[in-house]
A and B are shown apart, each in its own frame.
Chain A
C-alpha cells in the first residue's frame, strides 16, 4: 500500500482526517515536498464524499464525486504520505515541534496479503461485521467492523480467519499506541450527517422507505438505480424534504448546510433523466445555489421536478409502506395529501462527534455550533494555535469543490508557516 519514504531532515505535517479535505491537504503538502502523516479513524479513506454517486444526466453536474475518486488514487500512490487507518489522536504536546500520540486499531485484514476475493464477506454470519470500501482505491478493500463482529463480542466466531485463502485475517490483535512528531497540523476531521432519528415524525427508522440523502447516494452508486428498501421495486413517486437538521435554531443548528439543495436537485434530476416514469417532488424553504450555471440548471429542474415551497411536518404511514405528506396549495391554501413510495430526507452537515475532544487536545476553539473556529476574518484556515490549520467541513459546511479549495489554501498556509516554499534566486 504505502511505502513511506520519509526524509528525516524534511519537515512533516500531521493531517487529521482522510476525507476529501484531508486527502487534498495531504496531496498538496506532498507536492510541496513535505512528508505527511495522514491519520484516519475509520477503516477507509475517502470520508463521506467517496460514497457519493455520479449525478450526470446528459451532462456532468459538477458535483465533484469523481474528483474524490481521483484524489484518493493520487494519495495512495504518493510515497510521501504515510496513511494510518483505524487511528485516533489521544495526545498532543507542543514544544519546538508537535508531539502526538495515537491509539491504533490494527487492520485485521492485512493489505499485503488480501487479494480482495471477498470470501470473508460472503461467509461472515453477522450482519455488517465485514464491510467493503466504496472505491477500488480503498486498500484494503475489506475491513472488520468491531461493533458488529461476533469475535469482538464474545470470541465465538472466527469464520473469516479460517476461510481466507491467503491467511490474511488475524482477529486477535489488540489496540496499540503510536506516536510521532510533526511541525504543523491540519485538522480535516469532517462532519457528521444529521441523524433523522432525532425527528421521528418523519418515520425514519420506522418506515424502511424513508431514507436520508446519504443513503440515496450510496444506493445510486452501488446499484445505479433507486429501489424501495421495503420491496426492492421502483418507486413511482419520490419526495425529497429539504433542510432536515439545518437552519434550525431550536437545535442550535442556525446555519445552512450548503449542499442539500444541490444534492437533492441533482439526484432527482439524474433519476428523472434515467427513469422518466418516476415522479419527483422537492419540498423546500429556499433553494440554494450550486456552482456555476446554476440558473439554467434550476430552470431545467423546474421542468422535470415538482417544487413545493412547504416543509411537511410529518410523514404519515400509508398503505403498503407508502407515506403520505400533507402540504397546502400555494394558490388557495387548501390542504393536499399526497402519497409517496419513498421519502428522502435531505440531512445536513453537522459538527463531527470528535470535534470537542480534538479541540481539547489541540487547544483550539469551537464556534457556537461546534465546528472548529477560524481565527482570521478573511482566511478560514488558521486557528488560535500557531501551526494548526483547518480544512474542509471540520470548519463549516461546504461542498466538495469548496472543501478541496479550502484544503489547498490550508496547505499553502502550512507551507508559509513552515517557510518551505522555495524561492527563485
Chain B
C-alpha cells in the first residue's frame, strides 16, 4: 500500500440550484470549490419548479453563501474546455471570455441544468397572442397578470412527448391558478397523467375538485388556427367520438432537454450520456450520482429532470462520495492493481481507450491510477502486447487455473465456465447453496469482470481437452465496468470463428448473460450447455490426446 496525496478542491460545473447547494455542502466539510457557470449569473432556471418558487429565502441564503465564502471561487461566463488526469489529481482548463486558465481538482461535479424547450411547433401551432408556452403562462401568473388570462384555457400535456411528473405538475399548478380566477375555466388535454411523485396525485385530485376538466386521450390533437380562433380536434376515448374544443387560449407543454453544452462537456470529461443526451448512462451501478469515470459525478437535472428535492438527494449522496474519495487529502491505496511492463508497452494507447473508468493516462508510458482503477482487467486482456497484468488475475495464474480445472477422468461433458464476480459467480454460489442440480463436469473460474477473459484462456482450455467453455457476464447495460460484457462477447465470437477454422464446432464456446440474483438462470444456462455438448460428443482434441 502507498499513501498518495489527494487534491481537495472540487470543480462544480453549473451554477444552478443543485450546483450551488453542493458547493455549500462541500465547503462546510472544508473542501475548496471552483464553481463555474457558462452564463453571466448564478441561480437556476426560475419558476418552473414549485419548490424553487416556494423556498426563495433558503435558496437566496445559499446563493449568498456561495458568493461570499472564501473557499468558493465563482467563475461566471466560464466553461470547461479540457480535462486530464485521474481522481484526486485532475488538471482542468477553463475558458472565460477567450482566456484559458489551468486549475487542479480532486473531483468534478456536473450540475449543468436541463434546458426548457417549447413544443408549440411540434403541436402545429403558429405563434399567436393566445398560444402560450408553459413558461410564459407561469411568468404571466407570477407577475400578477390575471387580466391577461382569457376565459377558457386549454392545457396540452403529454401528447407530443411522454412527459414526466415535473411537466405534469407545472400544468396542474398553473391550471389551478387560472381556475381560481374569476370566470375562468381551465381544461387539460392529456396523454398519461404523470403522478409518480410525492404529493402529486393529491394535487391532481384537488385540481379536479376545483373544477378543472381533464380530458384523457391517446393521440395528439389536430390543430386549426385562424388568427386568434383556435380549434382543437381529438378522439375522445370515453365518449368514443371526435370532439372539438374551441378555447380562448392554449398553454402548450415544454420538454426538458439536456443542457445545450452537454454533448461537448461529456466528451471533454469522457463520461457517457443516456439515449436522450442527459449525463450518466442508464446503468444501475452509476445510481444515483456516479458516472463511468471515478471522481466525476452528476447531479440534478443534468442527469434527470426532476424536482429540487431529488436534486438535494443527489447533493447529499455526492457529498458522501466526495468525502469517501477525497477524505482528508490523502489516501492509502494498493500500490498497483494492474502492472504495466515498460519493456512490452508500445504506447499504442489501446488501454487508455478501452478503460471505462478513465483510470489510465500516459506520460511517456501508460500509467494506471490506483485510485481510479477498478481492477476489471479489460485493459489487460485487450493489450496487444500482453504488457498489462492484473494483480491476482495474471495470465500465468489464470492459465494455471484453467489447466487445473480440466479433469481427465470425468465421463460427463467438461465445461469450463468463466464467471464474472458481479453476476455469474454470485448466482453460481447461490445455485450450489440451494442444492440445484448443476452439470457434473462443470468447473467455474471466477473473474473480476467478464472483460478479463482473454481469448488465450479459452483456447488454452480447449487445447487441454475441455468439451466446452462458457463465458458468463452481466446483462447488457448492467456491467459494472460499462462494456466488459461487450468485449467478452466479441472475444467469444472471435474464438467461435477460430474453432471452426480448426475443425471444432463453434457451439462449444458460448457467451451468456445472467444476473447475480437469479441462480435458476445459472442452472438453466449450464444445463443447456451440457445438453448441447452431449449432442456434439466429446471434443476431438480430447479424443486425440487420449489416443
Contact = CB atoms under 8 A, between A and B. Distances in A.
B195 A333 contact: no
Interface stretch (B37-45, B262-270, B472-480): B472-480
A383 to B, nearest CB: 15
B58 A65 contact: no
Contacts of A258: 196-197
Contacts of B320: 28, 31-32, 408, 411-412, 415
Contact of A409 (B280, B313, B478, B517): B313
Given A58-B476, A289-B196, A378-B309, A408 B317 contact: yes
B202 interface: yes
Interface in B481-534: 513, 515-521, 524
Nearest to B278: A292
Contact of A292 (B240, B275, B319): B275
Residue with the highest number of chain B CB atoms closer than 10 Å, among A69, A132, A292:
A292
B200 interface: yes
Given A247-B195, A286-B193, A62 B30 contact: no
B81 to A, nearest CB: 27
Q: For chain B, which range describes its interface: under 10, 10 to 19, 20 to 34, or 35 or more residues?
A: 35 or more
Contacts of A69: 426, 516-517
Given A31-B324, A408-B288, A291 B196 contact: no
A421 B29 contact: yes
A31 B325 CA distance: 11
Interface string A327-350: 000111100000000000000000
Contacts of B515: 54, 56, 60, 65-66
A256 B284 contact: no
Contacts of A249: 205
Contacts of A320: none
A409 B521 contact: no
Interface string A53-89: 1101011101011111110010000000000000000
Interface string A2-19: 000000000000000000
Given A54-B518, A377-B55, A409-B313, A255 B201 contact: yes
Contacts of A32: 320, 323
Interface string B178-212: 00000000000000111111111110010000000
B282 interface: yes
B78 interface: no
Interface stretch (A98-106, A165-173, A193-201, A219-227): A219-227
Contact of A287 (B192, B237, B240, B478): B192
A380 B314 CA distance: 12
A413 B313 CA distance: 10
Contacts of B314: 405
B426 A401 contact: no
A60 B433 contact: no
B308 interface: yes
A289 to B, nearest CB: 6
Residue with the highest number of chain B CB atoms closer than 10 Å, among A136, A249, A298, A415:
A136
B164 interface: yes
**Secondary structure class of chain B's binding surface, majority of residues:** loop
A287 B172 CA distance: 17
B328 A333 contact: no
B162 interface: yes
Contacts, number: 204
A112 interface: no
A254 B161 CA distance: 26
A317 interface: no
A249 B203 CA distance: 12
Interface string A258-298: 10010000000000000000000000011111011111101
A255 B201 CA distance: 5
B538 interface: no
Given A60-B477, A254-B201, A292-B274, A286 B312 contact: no
A222 B521 CA distance: 9
Residue with the highest number of chain A CB atoms closer than 10 Å, among B161, B317, B423, B524:
B317
Interface of A: 28, 31-32, 50, 52-54, 56, 58-60, 62, 64-70, 73, 116, 118, 132, 135-136, 141, 221-224, 247, 249, 254-256, 258, 261, 285-289, 291-296, 298, 309, 330-333, 377-381, 396, 401-402, 404-406, 408-409, 411-413, 415-416, 421-425
Interface of B: 8, 28-31, 51, 54-55, 58, 161-162, 164-165, 192-202, 205, 216, 218, 237, 240, 274-276, 278, 280, 282-284, 287-288, 304, 308-309, 312-314, 316-317, 319-320, 323-324, 326-329, 422-423, 426, 429-430, 433-435, 474-478, 513, 515-521, 524
Given A255-B201, A293-B276, 16 more contacts: A60-B515, A62-B283, A67-B284, A67-B287, A136-B434, A221-B517, A286-B194, A286-B216, A289-B165, A289-B196, A292-B276, A309-B218, A378-B312, A396-B198, A415-B320, A424-B327
